[in-house]
Chains A and B, each alone.
Chain A
Amino acid sequence: MAAVNKLVCCGLVTIALAAVGCSPSATNKPEPATASSAAAKPATPGPGEGQRGATGESTTGQSSLDELQKGKQSTPGPLKDVYFSFDRYDLEGEARETLKVNADWLKRNPAARIEIEGHCDERGTNEYNLALGAKRAQAAKDYLITLGIATERLSTISYGEEIPVCKESNESCWSQNRRARFVVIQARPAS
């Protein structure tokens, strides 16, 4: 398990380096001290998952449930969250732009599979928010499909209001919590 962690961490570092034009040989460097051990752990360990160290831009991330269980948030992944209005699951202009950027990343990383998490703010009823979160995740998934991403690469889950990223009771926090989050659950094709 430790070896897997190490390799995954290296994969993550690759992205950071790739962003500043570093060569793929960076993946062979030993684990740097700056890479937090909590930075990246496969959400659902499985065959082939991040086990070889990535040579491209792909990575694996932690689901919100993993983060909750570990008590720490992971380093932001390559895909950006999209945000929603209160009690809405339709995609606004900014959300569509973000999804286009996310779709581009998915096209550049054809082996990556992602889980789309639907989240809500704390207001309202838990069960309704679970259903609303499912709608948000599905809305993001549907739009990615229209942008040409294969449906098999996209799964969804709703956490409703249960795992907020921001925990205060004000609109600034609530607006951050009404989101779809994208977790790379498989960076490489399963072998």
Chain B
Amino acid sequence: MMVKIIFAVLLVILNPWPTNAQPKGETGVRGEIVGQGGLKFPIAVSPLKNLGTTADTGKLSEGIADTIVYDLDLSGWFKVLDRAAYIENPQKSGVALGSFDFKDWSTIGAEGLVKGGFTIQGDEVTVELRLFDVFQNKERVGKRYVGRVKDYRRIAHKFADEIINQFTGVPGIFNTRIAYVSTSGGRFKEIHIAHLDGSEKFQVTNNHTINLSPSWTADGKSVLYTSYKDRNSSLYLFELYSGKEAKITPRNGRYLGGKASPDGQFIAATVEIGGNSNIVLLDRNGNVIRSLTESPGIEVSPAWSPDSKQLVFVSDRSGSPQVYVLDVANNKSRRLTYSGNYNTSPEWSPRGDRIAYTGRVGNRFAIFTIPVEGGEPRKLTAESADSEDPTWSPDGRFIAFASNRAGKYHLYVMQANGENQRRLTGSGGDDTKPNWSPRLE
């Protein structure tokens, strides 16, 4: 009964995304951020039991548990109990209800428990994972996955998504990837992609020039980006499965960035002609359909609304860069930001309700969100360093961004209210321009 109440409380607090929460002071400090109202759900994630006869040479037992721990920790909603405190031996106790003692877990303060087992056969692994209510001595959910041994982290991410689903009613976003620009310590800017935990890193471009502004297509199968590889900035589409790269914009056009629409039909792009940058509507193959803005100034950085009917973009038509909202059907636009004299790189929340953007505060840049209908912006990052280029998670509950708070630019993730800011990348170079993929299969 007790636990049921606790789960219910979490559901109430986590499900309607808190919109009135303010970031607390120096939100950039790792590990110091407390969740909403100080409430973090204490959970234990046991190493998995090897249920088969094949030796666990790849250390899946800890590897799967570690990945789930990383994900739950990243969400900011859980206090994952330290494995050193666990009492039971995971290789000796069972994984199903009734085959282990809940007291071993309630004693150390766990209210939730993740247990599981796996069987390796050749290069394939079968993994079963379960989430238990410790106080209620009940199983909340159990799942079985089959996959390649080397993809065990994906299985762990999927179950972490399921745990988040159990607590909040909406699956987590851990089976996603981030595309970004990295110098990798060299002088070129190349497009990379990686999972949130840094696994499955892949370098999309290697043309030794400048590649910028990666963004995912709605199906998560391709990455669109701007490249100077042919000397003239153009848009390219890279298909991940085939490894095929295609330049999609006309040979002599100057394109400064583009984003594919969520409905998969269009690309909104910035084209520069005679020094003037404007937003144009392209079909998904890069052919120009029509202009969306016709201004003698700077109109740049379009990003789609979830219904593909509107765009946010940046215009300097007021004398300084500000964020505007545009109806694609009639090209009508309205100004959204009025605070500050430098507001750029807007991104529309997949939930539809808020726009995230980069704003200048004094001599620093910070991440803000503002309601789509306008209103008071909410500053999410501290101006002790620069934070730029927000990108929403596919569920709209998290924002990834680039910040130089640790010296070089690295990628960070936080809850959409600014809490629980965590660093994702740490290469020797600068990592910038993150773009969050849709949920992957």
Contact = CB atoms under 8 A, between A and B. Distances in A.
Interface of A: 44, 63, 65, 68-69, 71, 87, 123-128, 130-132, 134-135, 137-139, 141-142, 156-159, 162-163
B326 interface: no
A65 B342 contact: no
Contact of B270 (A69, A71, A127): A127
B359 to A, nearest CB: 10
B209 A127 contact: no
Contact of B209 (A69, A135, A138): A69
A45 B231 CA distance: 13
Given A65-B209, A124-B360, A125-B358, A134 B365 contact: no
B251 to A, nearest CB: 15
Contacts of B181: 126
A123 B300 contact: no
Interface of B: 181, 187-189, 208-210, 212-213, 226, 228, 231-233, 254, 256-257, 270, 272, 274-277, 297-301, 314, 320-321, 342, 344-345, 358, 360, 363, 365, 386, 388-389, 432-433
21 contacts: A65-B231, A68-B209, A69-B209, A124-B358, A124-B360, A125-B314, A125-B389, A126-B389, A126-B433, A127-B212, A128-B301, A128-B345, A130-B233, A131-B270, A131-B299, A132-B298, A138-B276, A157-B233, A157-B254, A158-B254, A159-B210
A103 to B, nearest CB: 18
B187 A71 contact: yes
Contacts of A71: 187
Contact of B257 (A69, A130, A132, A139): A130
A162 B227 CA distance: 12
B334 to A, nearest CB: 20
B187 A131 contact: no
A34 to B, nearest CB: 26
B205 to A, nearest CB: 14
Contacts of B432: 126
A68 B187 contact: yes
Contacts of A134: 254, 256, 272, 275-277
A132 B342 CA distance: 13
A123 B345 CA distance: 13
Contacts of A157: 231-233, 254
Contacts of B276: 134-135, 138
Contacts of A128: 298, 300-301, 314, 321, 344-345
A124 B298 CA distance: 14
A-B pairs with the 3 shortest C-beta distances?
A138-B275, A131-B277, A125-B344
Given A68-B187, A134-B254, A139-B275, A127 B300 contact: yes
